Amino acid sequence: MRIDVVSIFPEYLQALDISLIGKARREALLDVRIHDLRDHTHDRHRTVDDTPYGGGAGMVMKPGPWAEALSSIAGAESGAQHADSSRPLLLIPSPAGEVFTQAMARELSEREHLVFACGRYEGIDERVYEFAAEHYEVRPVSLGDYVLNGGEVAVLAMVEAIGRLVPGVVGNPESLVEESHSDGLLEYPVYTKPSSWEGRDVPEVLLNGNHALIARTRRAWQLELTAERRPDLIRALDPDSLNRRDRDTLWHAGFMIEDGCVVARPAD
Ligand code: 6GU
């Protein structure tokens, strides 16, 4: 997979040299290229921003450098025109974007080419989005409902979430199956040796080697934990994915199935 990132702080993206993603890059599983937006300015001060038309606080990123950077990356693709489905995807980190989820990470991990455009200041001139749509499929994406100073930290998070799903990047693919959000639930609690530590014992069920019972118990823990911390995820479950045991666990956690949906049940 090829990933291009355009930023005025390329040093921020140095974190992508280390750990799992760094290793995947060295093994050529991921071709990550970081670009300095200022390399696409042509004035002495390498200006990337200016004051907003209409007034208001802060600065807006100028369209020129973005147009040049994005054209050169799209042009490097092959030179040819792309069919709609094969155009590279331009992801623009923004608190005003659609929320980035594990499902989106999974979908994006199957793309051949992703380009991230890191905005700073109050944002990028709106015309860049229109211009970019000629070369790219454009998708503004947000990490969640809070504000960062720029897209770089969001790109680190998204590249890690997407990159680890690319085949070969995570050594043991089984570790991608049983993890939070892989099945719409939070992960069950895990324990390691010693079995007794500071007067606290590992749950007995994990020690007796009954793997069917362990699997059932972990499933119940997942449902209970998710009901407590993320009731929104419980309500989003497909009732068809819940067996009788799951439904019983959820009943005790305060939910029931009604009209094909999981809903909070009346208190008893
Ligand atoms: Cl993706 N970018 C910025 N600048 N702020 C954010 C965000 C992204 N997600 C949440 N806040």
SS3 per residue for 45-106? CCCCEECCCCCCCCCEECHHHHHHHHHHHHHHCCCCCCCHHHCCEEEEEEEEEEECCHHHHH
Q: Is 97 annotated as a binding residue?
A: no
Average pLDDT of the residues in 91-102: 97
Cα(230) to ligand 1 centroid in Å equals: 22
Nearest CA to ligand 1 atom 8: 94
Average pLDDT of the residues in 92-120: 97
CA distances from 264 to 38, 121, 181 (A): 53, 42, 21
* Per-domain boundaries in the chain: 2-174, 196-264
Ligand 1 shell residues, CB under 6 Å: 93-95, 141-144, 146-148, 150-151, 154
Average pLDDT of the residues in 209-225: 98
- pLDDT at residue 121 in the model: 80
- pLDDT at residue 80 in the model: 52
Cα(7) to ligand 1 centroid in Å equals: 14
CATH class of the domain comprising 196-264 = mainly alpha
Confidence of residue 154 (pLDDT cuts 50, 70, 90): very high
- pLDDT at residue 268 in the model: 82
Of 18, 31, 8, 16, the C-alpha closest to 156 is 16
Judged by average pLDDT, the poorest of 62-71, 91-100, 167-176, 246-255 is: 167-176
- pLDDT at residue 78 in the model: 53
- What's the chain's average pLDDT? 95
CA distances from 181 to 23, 161, 205, 233 (A): 25, 12, 24, 9
Instruction: Specify whether the CB–CB gap between 254 and 265 falls below 8 A.
Output: yes
- pLDDT at residue 250 in the model: 98
Listing from the earlier edge strand, what are the strands of the sheet with 2-7? Answer: 31-36, 2-7, 113-117, 89-99, 137-142
Tens of pLDDT, residues 114-145: 999 999 888 999 999 999 999 999 999 999 99
Cα(53) to ligand 1 centroid in Å equals: 23
Confidence of residue 85 (pLDDT cuts 50, 70, 90): low
Residue 217 has pLDDT above 80, yes or no: yes
Of the two residues 181 and 127, the one the predictor is more confident about is: 127
Q: 2-174 in CATH: which number?
A: 3.40.1280.10
- Our mutation pick for probing the ligand 1 site, out of 142, 152, 153, 159, counting the most ligand atoms within 8 A of Cβ, is 142
Average pLDDT of the residues in 222-237: 98
